[in-house]
Structure 1
Amino acid sequence: MLRLILMRHAKSDWSHQGLSDHQRPLNKRGTASARALGGWLRAGSYLPGQVLSSSSERTGQTCTGLDLPQSVAITFTRALYLADAEKMMEVLRGATAPCVLMLGHNPGIADMAHRLVTAPVDHERFMDYPTGATLVVDFDAAGWNDIGWHEGQPIDFIIPRDLS
């Protein structure tokens, strides 16, 4: 059994002139959302053994805000920055832990979420996958190379606004 936690970065700050998209940080709401999502992960016993994250500033700050245990292996990679679903799946296939948190960006992360599950999640925001949207999905597979599209069983889905 494998578990994937698929999270879009929290709300970013567009007010910093001169920063590239890759350098854009979280805004105050995004920082609070990341902390709330970390609490939700702990409360649901959804803590990963490994994190695969885009190398952007906002995904890095989202990851920090989750306040994961120090034992969690975290990899920041440029390969996940604005990656499409196919590229995200390629990166996921290199995962080693049975529970992985992947942090990324739209539109790729929304497309991946939709393509992974056997049926759409019953939540009004699942289709647009807003900032902070987080899907927990299980796979009946021995390794990450054994998973495919439309094989994941959705376990939970949340957006930061649900936690307010």
Structure 2
Amino acid sequence: MGIPPTFIGWISTLYTDVSSEVLVNVFLSIRIVIKSGTCQGCLLSLILFICTTEPLAQCIRQDPMMSKVQIPGRSREETRILAYLDDLNILCHNKCSVERTMWHTQVYKVVSGVMLNVSKSTCLAMGELRDLESLGVSVLCKWVKIPRVEFNPKLSRRMAWEKKEPKVK
């Protein structure tokens, strides 16, 4: 991404030898050394998260083996991934794309040490994506909202967008 060494030095200074104490009621715990992650409430946390997940997003965007999904609306734009703040929404149109997504997240885990938090992940199966259990993907949700646009197997792309389009104008 071309991050200047000076900036990396500043971040290293802020996150080297970091410790914390936990206040429960009126009792303060002993110091806990923070070995990884970012400090909750730190203004840099979101920026650092975006910087560390962007390589994963780029790999998915550029993977020619993954099919694109058309975004609702008049633009006819197609994409594989939607990133909004600390949410990554990977749009898979077929089983091959799900397999490629799993592969990319495994490579990302090996390279960065960051694992996909399955408990915070949802999968909405639409179209031919009905049998994903064989890949270890559990399909639990019936619908999902990706920045305020509802995706629902019973609701067509056009209908989902038309529900929001008047509010956008």
TM-score of the superposed pair, with normalisation by structure 1: 0.27
Largest Rg, 1 or 2: 2
TM-score of the superposed pair, with normalisation by structure 2: 0.27
Structure 1 or 2: more strand by fraction: 1
